Amino acid sequence: MEGLGIGADDYLTKPFHEEELLIRIRNLVEMRKKLHIRYASLEPFPPTNDPSIQKEDIFMTKVRQILEAHLEDDQFGITTLCEEMAVSHAQLYRKFKTLSNKTIADYLKSLRLEKARNLLITTRLNITEITFMAGFKNLSHFSREFGREFGKSPSEYRKS
């Protein structure tokens, strides 16, 4: 009971029945898939009454808030995030990857590209200014990543 109380996914006593084990594994896999969908998106989390999901929402919201506060800082990295979250690199990486099925670096890149996309739509800033405001150091790297994410170069995206 103590293990479940501090975050263990499940617990079986011995001897256990093979069918029970398989059902619990299937349920855990399904829950992981739901969490991956919930946290991989950049959309706001839908409300939930599930206390275990609410706990994870708090964690993911805090990570996102810190990342968004540092989007323009091209020197911002995982070390700073770990310090602000007060967790080790391994612990942060493991938990984030488990919940979202993404690395923090990939998630940060997605946030930066989404900010750039919004700036392209809502401002008349030039692409170089947007590149730096979105936290990219290099214009060609930004254009390449933007094209991968949205299927068009930044200038083509702005025209459409």
Using one digit for the tens of pLDDT, what is the confidence trace for 97-145? 999 999 999 999 999 999 999 999 999 999 999 999 999 999 999 999 9
User: What's this model's pTM, rounded to 2 decimal places?
Assistant: 0.82
Amino acid at 18: E
> What sign for the dihedral angle of Cα 57, 52, 13, 3?
positive
What's the CATH class of domain 108-159? mainly alpha
Query: b/e for 8-20, b at 16 or more Cβ within 10 A?
Result: eeeeeeeeeeeee
Using one digit for the tens of pLDDT, what is the confidence trace for 19-42? 999 998 998 899 899 999 999 889
> What sign for the dihedral angle of Cα 95, 100, 103, 107?
negative
Domains in the chain: boundaries: 2-100, 108-159
